Chain A
Amino acid sequence: MTATTLESTIAADTGAALRFITCGSVDDGKSTLIGRLLVDSKTVLQDQLAGVQRGGETDLALLTDGLSAEREQGITIDVAYRYFATAKRKFIIGDAPGHEQYTRNMVTAASSADAAVVLVDATKLGWAAEVTDGEVVKGELLAQTRRHTLLCHLLRVQSIVFAVNKLDAITDAELAFERISNALNAFAASAGVQVAAIVPISALKGWNVVSAHEGWCGYQGPALLDLLEGLPVTAQDEAVPFAFPVQWVEKFSSSSDTSQGRRVFWGRVASGHVEPGQQVTVMPSGQSATVAQVLGHTRQSKTVHAGHSAGIVLDRELDVSRGDWLLAPGAFTPVREITATVAWLDDEPLVPGRVYWALQGHRWVKAKVARIVDRVDIATLEARPADQLEANAIGDVVLALQQPLAVLPFTRSRTLGSLVLVDTATHKTAAAVLVRPAAA
């Protein structure tokens, strides 16, 4: 990219950056794809490119594997965040590791992503052998392809794009692409995953990455980068009633202050919006108040919508502290027990009866695993009974809460529907918790 096109980018304000992750199985070419995006969009600077020359060849994967342990082993252990811009948009990439062992790092990257590019290595699939009469394709996708897709879907990553890589290494690339697409579509349909696009690419050669490789594999669609330029950023949960987790309480010592000694409750609006005159209920105390003032960063009074920080001043002195919630009256019923899907991330397995710390918004409560409902079989997507959830497993559990929490299904509200579990002994983050809709 030339300076001039970037200047027009800035002048036009391209809006919020698209945060996307690359994921999929080991060696499917994620790091190479990112290297290709960075090099072909001219984001990589000369000294960085000089650092990835090995024996006269450019190894694009070395642009992202930044830890010495990663270079030693030739694998990606943790997420690398990369930044680049085109004339149309800014991007933040999370390059997620493929190994099952590092699923927790992939989930970390997915939790803040607007979109996911799931890499599929065409050379690793038994697509050719599976064909009997030219029609039947048994979807032999790799377990990590399924796991990562499912996790992105569960975490509500808005757009999921499959990039079928290394097709340049296959003689009948068109047939391979067709059959792998069928397998991906079949899997997505059974998992309830909406697919934004399936693109044949060669990360190594740069085909269909930054610029389209006309008609290759019978594909007539846009190159991956063109697709990414058009994907939406995550919409806020605005249709949900007002909910506001109190992050920080600002106390004024001087009564001569304009707020007349009142406290300002700062936080980020989780859902709905807030404006003066609105009634709120404080959770967990259940007290009611009216919003007297709403402050933005400039400390000017305004209406603040979901996703943005606000300072709220109430019309009366109430006991409100960090971790409490200000909620639309009557819209939420606090519960003491929730059923949730968990992605188990700790090496120590989840077992029924154990007590963990749970964090929702800014509130910490104790949560006991009352029972494990089931565990998802990644290969078949069937729910199977389970005694425990090992690292990287996905399953449903019932959590008993020490104090009531106002929750909504994660599918309705990201903030009210998400929690993390933290091991009380090691303080490790053990699980991503997604609240399920209450059983009818």
Chain B
Amino acid sequence: MNRLAGYLLCTFALGGVAHASDGPTAPPGKDPAAHGKATPRKVARTPARPAPSRFTPPPANAIPDDEFGRTVRLGRDIFVHTQQYARDYVGNGLNCANCHLDDGRKADSAPLWAAYVVYPAYRKKTGQVDTFQSRLQGCFRYSMNGKPPAADSKEMTALVTYAFWLAQGAPTGTRLPGQGYVKVATPPRAPDLARGREVYRSNCAICHGADGEGTQVNGEYAFPPLWGKDSFNWGAGMHRVDTAAGFIKANMPYGLGGTLSDQEAWDVALFMDSHDRPQDPRFKDSVAKTRDAHHDEDCLYGRTPEELAASLKKRAKSGK
């Protein structure tokens, strides 16, 4: 029984990695997951490995004490204390490390080391091949609701150097386990605002505030705001309910990752993303037009929860 469960889990996990359709595409023929899938007997004979081993970035205290290390440190400072170190480029109250936990090292929390090795890559969102720099510029534009630092700026160089340092020894051009956020299966019941509000009240409000406003200490956010003017804007990845559910499922409540059910993660993600936040910087003419031009995804931009539920149902049926 355990062996079978382990095998199924393994196949599923590998398949999930190989077929995750969102984000950059790995070059064909380089994916170890595809190889594992083609030889199931081999996998079946190694029952004690339910998940592929994960890349481990070097520990923070291993940053070298030289000129290179100084730039790595600056990158880490910008990443963790974005409000202080990259103030000019931020238009809200967030720091990079709010969504990329453990200073950008935590697996299933969009770790920097895994992001670094999948760029340059074609992205549907921008309709072009993005370099790692242009991908980071997107973070500043949407998640940080700010204005992107130039590709050759001191800040960008430091961030890229920090990511490069974290990724040392990792293979390039391949999706590493733990990359991005986990994909949470479409829940059995359509995501629901009332249930989401209840999940929020009993699990999230203690840190993020009764109304998603975050908690400040001495004028700085100790816990980030989840909606409103100081949060990510309508163009950020986290405004997608499926993305938010994946982040929440693996990482929230902080320190209690994995304790919410899939249904609870979807419900509370819907609740969070149903609130108003800064406008999508790509806004043109009207919400409906902007939605049609840029929001072909599982989100509430110009959509009702019912419309989103219908789209999720259709997607689940078609198996995409």
A binds B: no
* Interface set of A (CB-CB < 8 Å, partner B): none
List residues of B whose CB falls within 8 A of some A CB: none
